[in-house]
Each structure stands twice: as C-alpha cells, then as structure tokens.
C-alpha cells in the first residue's frame, strides 16, 4: 500500500527469504527498496535499520513498526522466559525502533510520522492465556501516548493501529471453512458489527492515513481497524 502511494521503502525482518520475496514484489510496483535482514532486537540493529534508510534515501520521513509474537498459556503455567520473549518482540523491539528513528528525525529537524502495530488486545483482556500479549500491546498504546507528548515539540507524530483478527499466515487456521478454527471464528464474528474478519487491505488504509500529511494533527492515538469489535 505504501509503495503504491509512491513511498521509497527500507524493509527490515529476520525472515530473510520472506523479506526478499516482499522486496521483489515492492520493486515490481516501481518503488526503490533497501533491505535490512534483521529486526530491532538490539540497540545496534535498530540504529542500523535507520542508518540503512538514510544511506539509501538521505533521510527518514516515516517508520512503520509491525514486529511481534505471542505465547499462549495461563499465567500459572507460563515460563518466565516465554513471557519475556513476547515482551522483547512486542515492546522492547518497538521501543528500540522508536528510539533510533526519533534520534534521526529530531536531528533532521523536519518532523516525521511513526506508526506502531498494536491490537484490540491492548484494550481488551482475553481468557485464553494472553497475559503476555495483552500486557505488551497495552504497553504499546501507553508508549504511543507518551511519545505523542514527548515528540510534539519536534513535529513528530506517533500513532498505533489496533486490528482485530485479520488474514495472515499466522491466522490462516481461523479462516479455514472446516477444522478447529470454525468455532473460534464464529465466536469472533458474533462480536464484530461489520460481520467479517479483517483482510490486509483493511489495515493498509489506516496505516497509510497515519503516515500521511492527512494525519499531521493526530498523535498519541490508537486507531482500531476492527470492524467495530471494541465498540461493543
């Protein structure tokens, strides 16, 4: 979606094969692409992600942060290491990415836009062993609010997009007509006013808006692209 809008992109991920496939797809749309084969799991990696963008395109105007994971277990059964791995991916990584891009944007002196992928689970609890995931996403929403206040004087906006379940390789089991995902899907659909699960294009518009000049007076917010799930 961003490539179709004319953005030049620096793509970062630790799935090297998937990253190169995506890079080739985006190049096919006629945009310029740089590739970084890791995600912001360390301060140095986060700095290098931003530096790669600067090396290729002279400056950074926006950043979209989407990395995350989940480990499902009741709190009484969850290993501390598993809880920490979710917090590292869902909170520490985005925090490091924000630190790195914030330093660059402040130095550039031109403002900028940051969007972080949150979740409806940052607002709503879940009974099925989501203490790590919900906690991490609630913290993301708080990070966005805080940086919205901290970065305002620099003209940098930061917002989150909070989707419900949407189609991806991780959620494919819920979209299957038969199998264990059917009951889960029907339960979700009963709580979504628009009556369907999300598709990737349902999130693209929200991200595009928040990274664009159209959202220049919007900061510190979480926009729920959830079909009305959090409204009821």
User: Which residues are known to be catalytic?
Assistant: 133
Cα separation, 26 vs 12, in Å, equals 13
User: What beta strand segments (E) does 102-221 contain?
Assistant: 112-117, 156-161
Closest CA to 229 of 194, 201, 185: 194
On the 0-12 / 13-18 / 19+ scale of CB atoms within 10 A, 134 is buried
User: What beta strand segments (E) does 84-209 contain?
Assistant: 112-117, 156-161
DSSP code for 166: B
């Amino acid at each position: 979606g961003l490539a179709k809008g004319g953005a030049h992109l620096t793509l970062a991920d630790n799935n090297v094969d998937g990253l190169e496939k995506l890079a080739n797809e985006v190049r096919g749309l006629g945009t310029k692409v740089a590739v970084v084969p890791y995600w912001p799991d360390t301060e140095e990696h986060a700095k290098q992600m931003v530096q790669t963008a600067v090396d290729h395109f002279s400056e950074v105007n926006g950043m979209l942060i989407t990395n995350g994971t989940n480990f499902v277990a009741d709190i009484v059964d969850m290993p501390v290491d598993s809880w920490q791995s979710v917090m590292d991916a869902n909170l520490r990584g985005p925090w490091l990415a924000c630190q790195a891009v914030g330093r660059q944007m402040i130095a550039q002196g031109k403002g900028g836009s940051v969007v972080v992928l949150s979740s409806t689970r940052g607002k709503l609890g879940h009974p099925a062993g989501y203490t790590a995931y919900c906690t991490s996403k609630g913290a993301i929403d708080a990070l966005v609010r805080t940086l919205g206040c901290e970065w305002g004087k620099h003209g940098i906006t930061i917002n989150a997009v909070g989707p419900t379940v949407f189609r991806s390789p991780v959620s494919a089991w819920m979209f299957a007509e038969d199998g264990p995902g059917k009951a889960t899907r029907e339960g979700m659909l009963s709580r979504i006013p628009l009556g369907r699960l999300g598709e990737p294009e349902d999130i693209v518009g929200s991200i595009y808006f928040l990274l664009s000049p159209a959202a220049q007076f919007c900061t510190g917010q979480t926009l729920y692209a959830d079909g009305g799930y959090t409204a009821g």
